[in-house]
Amino acid sequence: MGIENAGSSAPESWHRVADVAELADGALKPVVVAGNLIVLIRIGERYGALDNQCPHAGGPLAEGTLEDGRLICPWHGREYNPLSGKCEGYDQPVRAYKVEVRSDGIYVAL
């Protein structure tokens, strides 16, 4: 099952980042993908992957909270769409990556 969200148009390379069982519903899991720190997010059967660093002042989004389908930055409370990375009220999204759930794990495209 593939879940698509925002991504760049550059050539993609897919990286296996976790077992499906590692990510419970509502989980925020920091993972390193090709040297980039990314937060992997599960909301029900939907998955997101965002840069871990909040674009406002660098807050660690993996230490944030999920509330009503939004990811809240732990430092100043900006609210992000955990799938698209769009920021409510600010024109400063966090970079989002494509995620796929495959039979052998969760993959993120860079």
Contact positions vs ligand FES (CB under 6 A)? 54, 56-59, 73, 75-78
CA 108 to chain CA mean position, Å: 9
**59 vs 82, which CB is nearer to ligand FES?**
59
User: Minimal distance in Å, beta carbon 3 to ligand FES?
Assistant: 24
Tokens 């920021």, located at residue: 87
Cβ proximity to ligand FES: between 19 and 90 the closer is 90
Residue 2, judged by CB atoms within 10 A of its CB (0-12, 13-18, 19+), counts as exposed
Of 14 and 75, CB closest to ligand FES: 75
CB of residue 92 to ligand FES, shortest distance in Å: 9
Q: Which of 64, 58, 57, 14 is nearest to 41 (CA)?
A: 64
